[in-house]
């Protein structure tokens, strides 16, 4: 029924006081389950093997933080998937989104999810938000070998800090460098355009709904300029996904609400194709 | 030169040893209520838990020697997390966990000199009350699929009997908690007063998303205990002319 469990006893590692890290435990008992274990020896670049996940934006607002992603995955000039979910609820107060090699990124996010929950269950308390951010940095660093072969995965972590009671955003580079971002950030192929867009729309006193609107505007701008980013698809009813984390915990914004706001954005663009403009005064 | 000891005697000695060890500690009860499954243990410690979460829908309650059942808890969490990661979160079930616990305890009991002095409960909350599963696993690896409620510990039979009188499968949380604490307070034939600080309480809440396990402590626990006592007193005083339904609305 379970590998290594024929003799009526689990392998000793299962009961040792040992580690409270799921990744380390898996490395000891089932290393073949870790992401990218079999990709170590391929020669040359192999990044054409998995599609790329594209644009993600995150912004904070008083009392919370928001994470939004477009739905497109591309493989070269081909749209590999038009309704992909790149956002992962990692625990009650954090979420991760991925950009880059999708196949590796999905596994990384899944492992990270279990990692946080595993720690919480074994230790009886969750990691601090910094602890979560550092853990993710180590996991991205662990992927460096594959990043060198072209499988670059960049995550974006958002969380609600229960100590300081504010939303926070952490970005990463391919070697596991961890950077805390102030107010907002964007990653992925359309990030340059999305970030520029948020920069002009961001206010310190955004409420949740307005913050969602800013995210949708910025993703629209990214899709407008970057062929790999997907905009709201009104015909197929495919809209960006949005996660909000506040002191009440994690919440995926319901599709109807996103649909309503995204339709407003698209209609706004019918009148003004470049979207809202910033005031100069 | 070793003396010959009949296998029957050997097993009996081991079982007596384990029973005595378990009887030194306090009991725990697991029971259904209207919103899911309630787990209650008589535990002074706020950090050395007798009740824990194993997986999304699965909880764990144990009595006996802490380091021994803590080992089992770690094993269960690791097993569940590996399995859920390898396949899908829905592929982790209470039955699997109860089985590996039973096999592990059975092996320890028959093979090692000292049996483990533990008794554990694995509870899984289903989508409906019919889907709830409660397994009791004893020190020798016996496994029992319990219906509705179960008590574990040295005087589990006594506690179970008292609980049986008050158990209602679809009782509100405060009433279920009241029944559980009442049963725990009367173990070993004594009548103690159990306060919030003596109790470790958790629920597997059917309606919750993702992970259904939630601890209840602090002011919420105190208010639930008080609510249960008030309703119980109202029931008892007006018992002759008040129906259960009316009392529940108090």
pLDDT tens-digit series, residues B33-66: 999 999 999 998 888 999 999 999 999 999 999 9
**Inside any domain, residue A18:** no
- Judging contacts by C-beta atoms under 8 Å, the chain B residues touching residue A33 are 82, 85-86
Would you name the residues of A annotated as active-site residues?
Answer: 54
First to last CA, chain B: 71
Distance between CA atoms of residues B205 and B207, nearest Å: 6
A226: its two tokens: 């970057």
3-class DSSP state of A266: helix
Name the pLDDT band for B199 (thresholds 50, 70, 90).
very high
Q: Which residues of B151-164 are buried (b: 16+ CB within 10 A; e: fewer)?
A: bbbbbbebbbebbe
Q: Which of A7, A25, A124 sits opposite B78 (nearest CB)?
A: A25
Question: Are A30 and A154 in contact, with CB atoms under 8 Å apart?
Answer: no
- Looking at chain A, how many residues does it have? 281
CATH code where residue A171 lies: 3.60.20.10
**Inside any domain, residue A235:** yes
Question: Are B14 and B109 in contact, with CB atoms under 8 Å apart?
Answer: yes
**Inside any domain, residue A88:** yes
Q: Which of B43, B81, B215 to mutate to test the interface with A (most CBs of A within 10 A)?
A: B81
Number of domains chain A is built from? 1
- Residue B12 predicted with pLDDT over 80: yes
Q: How many CB pairs under 8 A join A and B?
A: 60
Q: What is the pLDDT of residue A187?
A: 96
| DSSP secondary structure letter of residue A11 | -
**Inside any domain, residue A27:** no
Across-strand partners of A53?
A73, A100
Range of the domain at A85: 47-270
**Inside any domain, residue A195:** yes
- Residue B234 predicted with pLDDT over 60: yes
**Inside any domain, residue A30:** no
List the Cα angle A97/A82/A250 in 5-degree steps. Answer: 30
Q: With CB atoms and an 8 Å threshold, state whether B100 touches A114.
A: no
Q: B125: how many CB neighbours lie within 10 A of its CB?
A: 27
**Inside any domain, residue A95:** yes
Q: Flag whether residue A94 sits within 8 Å of chain B, measured between CB atoms.
A: no
Q: Which of B82, B96, B108 to mutate to test the interface with A (most CBs of A within 10 A)?
A: B82
Per domain, the residue ranges of chain B are: 7-156+195-216
| DSSP secondary structure letter of residue A160 | E
| DSSP secondary structure letter of residue A34 | S
Name the pLDDT band for A6 (thresholds 50, 70, 90).
very low
- pLDDT tens per residue, range A52-82: 888 999 999 999 999 999 999 999 899 999 9
**Inside any domain, residue A31:** no
- Strands (E) located in A162-266: 166-172, 178-181, 184-187, 241-246, 249-252
Q: Which residues of A50-62 are buried (b: 16+ CB within 10 A; e: fewer)?
A: bbbbbbbbbbbbe
Q: Flag whether residue A9 sits within 8 Å of chain B, measured between CB atoms.
A: yes
- Those residues with Cβ within 8 angstroms of residue A49's Cβ, 6 or more apart along the chain or in another chain: A103
Q: With CB atoms and an 8 Å threshold, state whether B52 touches A121.
A: yes
Distance between CA atoms of residues A120 and A135, nearest Å: 13
- Judging contacts by C-beta atoms under 8 Å, the chain B residues touching residue A251 are none
Would the ipTM clear 0.95, i.e. be above it?
no
CATH 3.60.20.10, domain B7-156+195-216, yes or no: yes
Give the mean model confidence (pLDDT) for residues B114-134: 95
Lowest mean pLDDT among A64-68, A177-181, A210-214, B237-241: B237-241
Q: Flag whether residue A78 sits within 8 Å of chain B, measured between CB atoms.
A: no
- pLDDT tens per residue, range A99-134: 999 999 999 999 999 999 999 999 999 999 999 999
- Judging contacts by C-beta atoms under 8 Å, the chain B residues touching residue A118 are 77-78, 81
């Amino acid at each position: 029924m379970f590998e290594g469990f024929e003799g009526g006893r689990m392998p000793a590692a299962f009961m040792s006081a040992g580690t409270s890290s799921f990744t380390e435990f898996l490395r000891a008992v089932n290393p073949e389950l870790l992401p990218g274990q079999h990709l170590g020896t391929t020669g040359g670049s192999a990044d054409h093997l998995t599609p790329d996940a594209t644009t993600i934006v995150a912004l904070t607002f008083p009392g919370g933080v928001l994470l939004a992603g477009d739905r497109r995955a591309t493989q070269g000039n081909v749209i590999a998937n038009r309704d992909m979910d790149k956002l992962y609820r990692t625990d009650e107060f954090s979420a991760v989104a991925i950009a880059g090699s999708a196949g590796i990124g999905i596994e990384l996010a899944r492992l990270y999810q279990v990692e946080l929950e595993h720690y919480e269950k074994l230790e009886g308390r969750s990691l601090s938000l910094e602890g979560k951010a550092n853990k993710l940095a180590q996991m991205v660093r662990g992927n460096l070998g594959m990043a060198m072969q072209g499988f670059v995965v960049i995550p974006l972590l958002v969380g609600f800090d229960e100590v300081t009671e504010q939303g926070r955003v952490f970005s990463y580079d391919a070697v596991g460098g961890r950077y805390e971002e102030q107010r907002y950030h964007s990653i992925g192929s359309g990030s340059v355009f999305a970030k520029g867009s948020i920069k002009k729309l961001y206010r310190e006193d955004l409420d949740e709904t307005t913050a969602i609107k800013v995210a949708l505007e910025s993703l629209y701008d990214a899709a407008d300029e970057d062929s790999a980013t997907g905009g709201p698809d009104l015909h197929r009813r495919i809209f960006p996904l949005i996660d909000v984390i506040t002191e009440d915990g994690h919440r995926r914004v319901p599709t109807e609400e996103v649909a309503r706001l995204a339709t407003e954005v698209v209609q706004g663009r019918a009148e003004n194709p470049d979207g809202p403009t910033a005031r100069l005064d | 030169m070793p003396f010959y000891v009949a296998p029957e005697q050997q097993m009996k000695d081991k079982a007596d040893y384990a029973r005595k060890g378990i009887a030194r500690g306090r009991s725990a009860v697991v029971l259904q209520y209207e919103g899911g499954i309630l787990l209650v243990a008589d535990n002074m410690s706020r950090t050395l838990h007798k009740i824990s979460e194993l997986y999304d829908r699965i909880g764990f309650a144990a009595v006996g020697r802490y380091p021994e059942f803590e080992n089992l808890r770690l094993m269960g969490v690791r097993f569940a997390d590996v399995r859920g990661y390898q396949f899908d979160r829905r592929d982790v079930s209470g039955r699997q966990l109860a089985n590996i616990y039973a096999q592990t305890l059975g092996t320890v009991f028959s093979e090692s000199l000292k049996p483990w002095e533990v008794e554990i409960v694995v509870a899984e909350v289903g989508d409906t009350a019919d889907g709830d599963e409660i397994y009791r696993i004893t020190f020798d690896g016996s496994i029992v699929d319990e219906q509705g409620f179960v008590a574990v510990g040295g005087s589990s039979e006594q506690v179970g009997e008292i609980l049986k009188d008050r158990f209602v499968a679809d009782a509100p949380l405060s009433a279920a908690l009241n029944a559980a604490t009442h049963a725990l307070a009367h173990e070993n034939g004594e009548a103690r007063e159990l306060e919030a600080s003596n109790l470790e309480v958790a629920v597997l809440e059917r309606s919750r998303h993702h992970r259904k396990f939630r601890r209840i402590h602090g002011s919420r626990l105190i208010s639930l205990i008080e609510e249960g006592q008030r309703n119980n007193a109202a029931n008892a005083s007006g018992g002759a002319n008040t129906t259960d339904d009316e009392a529940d609305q108090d």
